[in-house]
Structure 1
Amino acid sequence: MSSEILINMTPNETRVALVENGVLQEVYIERERKRGLVGNVYKGKVSRVLPGMQAAFIDIGLERAAFLHASDIVSESVSGEEEKLDNITELVHEGQDICVQVIKDPLGTKGARLTTQVSIPSRFLVFMPGTSHIGVSQKIEGEEERARLREHMENIITEEYAGGYILRTAAEGISEAELDADVKFLNRLWDAIRERMRTAPTKSVIHEDLPLAMRMMRDLVSPEIEKVRIDSRETFERAARFARKFIPEVSRRIEYYPGERPIFDLYSVEDEIHKALEKKAQLKSGGYLIIDQTEALTTIDVNTGAFVGHRNLEETIFKTNLEAAQAIARQVRLRNLGGIIILDFIDMQDEEHKRQVLRALEKALERDHAKCHISQVSGLGLVEMTRKRTRESLEHVLCETCPTCNGRGSLRTAETVCYEIFREILREARQYDAQTFLVMAGHEVVDRLLDEESDNIAELEDFIGKPIKLQVESLYTQEQYDVVLM
Structure 2
Amino acid sequence: MKKTLVFSNHSDEMRVALLENEKLMEIFFEDLEVGKLTGKIFYGRIENVVPALESFFVNIGAKKNGFLRFKDTTIDPDTLRRGSFIIVQVKKDGDVRKGPQLTMHINIPGKYMVYMPFGENSIGISKKIMSLSEKDRLREIGEMLIENEEEGIIFRTNSENVDFESLKEEFFQLKEIWENIKEKAKNSNKPALLYEDENFVDYILRERFDHSVNEIITDDKELFKRFNKEIKEINENVKIRKVDIDAFSWTNVYEQMDDMFARKIELPGGGVITIDKTEALTVFDIDSAGNVLGENVEDTSYKTNLEATVEIARQLRLRNIAGIILIDFIDMKDAKHKEEIINLFREESKKDKAKISISGFTKLGLLELSRKRTTPSIDALLFTQCPICQGTGKIASPRIVFRRVIKELEESLEDLKRGHNIKEVYTSVYHNLSGYFTKEKKKEIEEKFDVKLDLDFNWPDPNSYNIRYRK
When normalised by structure 2's length, the TM-score is 0.92
In the other structure, the counterpart of 2:132 is 143
2:244 to 231, 253, 259: 259
1:203 equivalent to 2:187? Answer no
CA contact (8 A) 2:433 2:457 kept: no
Supply the distance in 1 between the matched residues of 2:229 and 2:197 (Cα, whole angstroms): 17
CA contact (8 A) 2:54 2:70 kept: yes
Q: 1:57-456 counterparts in 2 under 5 A?
A: 57-75=57-75, 85=76, 88=77, 90-130=78-118, 131-159=120-148, 163-237=151-225, 243=231, 248-250=233-235, 253=238, 255=240, 257-260=242-245, 262-433=246-417, 434-450=422-438, 454=440
Alpha carbons of 1:400 and 1:484: their partners in 2 closer, same or farther (altered >3 Å)? same
Q: CA deviation at 1:313?
A: 1.5
CA-based RMSD of the aligned residues comes to 2.4
CA contact (8 A) 1:45 1:96 kept: yes
Q: Residue 225 of structure 1 aligns to a residue in which SS?
A: coil
Supply the distance in 1 between the matched residues of 2:406 and 2:36 (Cα, whole angstroms): 51
Q: Residue 42 of structure 1 aligns to a residue in which SS?
A: strand
Residue identity in the other structure for 1:71: K
Alpha carbons of 1:120 and 1:401: their partners in 2 closer, same or farther (altered >3 Å)? same
CA contact (8 A) 2:92 2:101 kept: yes
Deviation larger for 21-30 or 34-43: 34-43
In the other structure, the counterpart of 1:471 is 455
**1:324-381: CA deviations, max 9, x gaps?**
0011000111111111111111122221121111221121111111000111111111
1:46 equivalent to 2:46? Answer yes
Alpha carbons of 1:151 and 1:27: their partners in 2 closer, same or farther (altered >3 Å)? same
CA contact (8 A) 1:8 1:15 kept: yes
Q: CA deviation at 1:10?
A: 4.6
**1:25-71: CA deviations, max 9, x gaps?**
11122317943222111111112222111112211111222211112
Q: CA deviation at 1:103?
A: 1.3
Q: CA deviation at 1:225?
A: 0.6
CA contact (8 A) 1:436 1:485 kept: yes
In the other structure, the counterpart of 1:481 is 465
Alpha carbons of 1:412 and 1:148: their partners in 2 closer, same or farther (altered >3 Å)? same
Supply the distance in 1 between the matched residues of 2:223 and 2:278 (Cα, whole angstroms): 36
Supply the distance in 2 between the matched residues of 1:416 and 1:210 (Cα, whole angstroms): 55
Q: CA deviation at 1:409?
A: 0.7
Supply the distance in 1 between the matched residues of 2:429 and 2:125 (Cα, whole angstroms): 65
Q: Residue 189 of structure 1 aligns to a residue in which SS?
A: helix
Q: CA deviation at 1:254?
A: 7.1
Q: CA deviation at 1:228?
A: 2.3
Structure 1, unaligned runs of 5 or more: 76-84
Q: Residue 434 of structure 2 aligns to a residue in which SS?
A: helix
Q: CA deviation at 1:250?
A: 3.5
Alpha carbons of 1:347 and 1:4: their partners in 2 closer, same or farther (altered >3 Å)? same
Q: CA deviation at 1:237?
A: 5.0
Supply the distance in 2 between the matched residues of 1:91 and 1:325 (Cα, whole angstroms): 49
In the other structure, the counterpart of 1:82 is none
Q: CA deviation at 1:165?
A: 0.6
Alpha carbons of 1:384 and 1:59: their partners in 2 closer, same or farther (altered >3 Å)? same
Residue identity in the other structure for 2:244: G
Structure 2, unaligned runs of 5 or more: none
CA contact (8 A) 1:299 1:344 kept: yes
Supply the distance in 1 between the matched residues of 2:380 and 2:345 (Cα, whole angstroms): 25
Q: How many residues align?
A: 465
Alpha carbons of 1:318 and 1:146: their partners in 2 closer, same or farther (altered >3 Å)? same
Q: Residue 26 of structure 1 aligns to a residue in which SS?
A: strand
CA contact (8 A) 2:360 2:369 kept: no
Residue identity in the other structure for 2:129: I
**1:98-152: CA deviations, max 9, x gaps?**
2111111223432211111111111111111132111111111222221121012
Residue identity in the other structure for 1:97: F
Residue identity in the other structure for 1:205: L
CA contact (8 A) 1:196 1:206 kept: yes
**1:363-420: CA deviations, max 9, x gaps?**
1111111000111111111111111111111122222222332221111111111011
Supply the distance in 2 between the matched residues of 1:57 and 1:473 (Cα, whole angstroms): 49
Percent of aligned positions that are identical? 29
Residue identity in the other structure for 1:112: P
Supply the distance in 2 between the matched residues of 1:190 and 1:254 (Cα, whole angstroms): 35
CA contact (8 A) 2:263 2:276 kept: yes
Supply the distance in 2 between the matched residues of 1:155 and 1:34 (Cα, whole angstroms): 36
Q: Residue 448 of structure 1 aligns to a residue in which SS?
A: coil
CA contact (8 A) 2:446 2:453 kept: no
Residue identity in the other structure for 2:8: N
Residue identity in the other structure for 1:70: F
CA contact (8 A) 2:4 2:215 kept: yes
